[in-house]
Amino acid sequence: MSTLSSEVGQALGLPIGFDVDRVREDFPVLKQTIHGKPLVYLDNAATAQKPRAVIDAIVKFYEVDCANIHRGVHELSQRSTAAYEETRSKVRRFLNARSNHEIIFVRGTTEGINLVTQTWGRTNLKAGDEIVIAGLDHHSNIVPWQILCEQTGARLRVIPIDDRGDLVLDEYEKLLSPRTRMVAVGHVSNALGTVNPVRRIVRMAHDTGALALIDGAQAVPHMPVDVAALDADFYAFSGHKLFGPTGIGVLYGKADLLEAMPPYQGGGDMIRTVTFEKTTYNDLPYKFEAGTPDIAGGIGLGAAVDYVTRLGIDKIAAYEHELLLYATEALERIPGLRIVGTAREKAAVLSFVMQGIHPHDIGTVLDHQGIAVRTGHHCAQPVMDRYHIPATTRASLAFYNTPAEIDALVAGLYKVKEVFDE
């Protein structure tokens, strides 16, 4: 299969310098069979697999360097602190942020967004203010804002999507007003793969006097992200979708905004001095990092950033784009299959429905052939409602997927038809 994939890859004109067979060797999990068939992992938008370098970094931390950070004078604590803080520098460079102070470690994108709603939001919003989100958004960029609206009396406005899955920017423009205080949108839709024109969205928000937060969970693993160029006020992503461990993520925020925000949680590490009369808070970024963090996760995330940087995020993006085109063409040839989400600019996500066959049945039959896809509403129920479907089947690709795996998916879908078609 590996030889085949590189041959097909060359035939496709996949970018030279991206050796997918070699890359696959870095991912231990991929070398297994499921129900007797080679694993074809196409659920990368849910979580990505971890390269050996990430797993080794975590094992090394627990075997050699394990200690709490920011407190001990002993050797192990200094090593663990250095490794954890080194990740902050790596992430800062990866996102092109100005300062390490702007990189806040959180559990994931969801916590990053909740941090902003509960600190910036509760301090700054009042009844009558408006927050704009997108009709494509994941529940993690809907529900925290809804909670904030309940708490403050602010109102949620939603940018509609068109039939292809693109945001309707004319409607977005109409939603903007002096009441708009925050525009929070996903960079890439997890359900449809749409890449939103976030630079333009941020600029339009700023022109109205609003701030902009970008949910980058689905973008960071697949394309270069430059927060300075985007001029986003906040940008959140999850480590586990970037081939890093679960339980660690990043909230980027502009330093002046973060300085003015109250702490998120209270506890150790986020304070400078504590007395029963008055507590003073630590400087950025520690003000927002109460308690012992996921140290191993942070170190693993650093290894993941290194790994992706070494492969080259531009090369990853180019390879995945070729694979998306190959997969789109292959799926479109299957009778009765309809791809949901055909935006002008798309990440490597293929959401689809099949005539008369429920996604859950598709998922089970594919699983029997070793193929892992996601079925359901993808934590984006409003998107499903928009297209009047209860659910889709979603194949989401990563740079270690191959054209041969797309062929296996297509063969799997014909098997699905064989089971369920009349």
Partner 1 sequence: MIDDLYQETILDHSKRPRNHHVLTGANRKAEGYNPLCGDKLKLYLKMDGDIVVDASFEGAGCAISTASASLMTESLKGKTREEAMRLMDKFHDLLTTDTPASRDLGKLVVFCGVRDYPARVKCATLAWHTLKSALNGSPEPVTTE
- What is the contact surface with partner 1 in residues (CB under 8 A)? 357-361, 364-365, 368, 375-377, 381, 384, 390-391, 419-420, 422
- Cβ-based nearer residue to partner 1, 141 or 369: 369
Q: Which amino acid is at 183?
A: V
- Cβ-based nearer residue to partner 1, 160 or 376: 376
Distance between CA 306 and CA 244 in Å, rounded? Answer: 10
Nearest approach, Cβ of 416 to partner 1 (angstroms)?
10
| Catalytic position from the list 161, 379, 384, 413 | 379
Q: Virtual CA dihedral for 97, 98, 101, 104, nearest 10 degrees?
A: -10
389 to 141, 190, 267, 392, 417: CA distances (angstroms): 21, 16, 45, 7, 19
- Cβ-based nearer residue to partner 1, 281 or 420: 420
- Cβ-based nearer residue to partner 1, 107 or 377: 377
Nearest approach, Cβ of 203 to partner 1 (angstroms)?
36
Nearest approach, Cβ of 192 to partner 1 (angstroms)?
16
Cβ neighbours around 130 below 10 Å, total: 20
Reported as type and span, the H/E element at residue 353 is strand 349-354
- Burial class, 175, CB count within 10 angstroms (exposed 0-12 / middle 13-18 / buried 19+): middle
Nearest approach, Cβ of 361 to partner 1 (angstroms)?
5
Q: Which two tokens stand for residue 231?
A: 């001029």
Nearest approach, Cβ of 50 to partner 1 (angstroms)?
23
**How are beta strands 392-396 and 180-186 bridged, if at all?**
unpaired
Nearest approach, Cβ of 390 to partner 1 (angstroms)?
4
- Cβ-based nearer residue to partner 1, 159 or 362: 362
- Cβ-based nearer residue to partner 1, 311 or 416: 416
Distance between CA 184 and CA 364 in Å, rounded? Answer: 35
Q: Which two tokens stand for residue 64?
A: 């050699």
- The verdict on whether omega for the bond into residue 38 sits within 30 degrees of 0, i.e. cis, is no
- Cβ-based nearer residue to partner 1, 267 or 390: 390
The terminus-to-terminus CA distance of the chain in angstroms comes to 32
Contacts of residue 167, defined as CB under 8 A and 6 or more positions apart, other chains included, come to 134, 135, 136, 159, 160, 161, 185, 194, 196, 197, 201
Residues 25 and 402: beta-carbon distance below 8 Å: no
DSSP, collapsed to helix, strand or coil, labels residue 318 as helix
CA 280 to chain centre: 34
Nearest approach, Cβ of 391 to partner 1 (angstroms)?
5
Q: Which amino acid is at 181?
A: R
Q: Which amino acid is at 200?
A: R
**How are beta strands 211-215 and 234-238 bridged, if at all?**
parallel
Nearest approach, Cβ of 420 to partner 1 (angstroms)?
7
- Cβ-based nearer residue to partner 1, 395 or 416: 416
Residue 66 catalytic?
Answer: no
List the one residue out of 108, 113, 116 whose CA is nearest residue 238: 108
Q: Which amino acid is at 341?
A: G
Contacts of residue 23, defined as CB under 8 A and 6 or more positions apart, other chains included, come to 311, 399, 400
Active-site residue list? 379
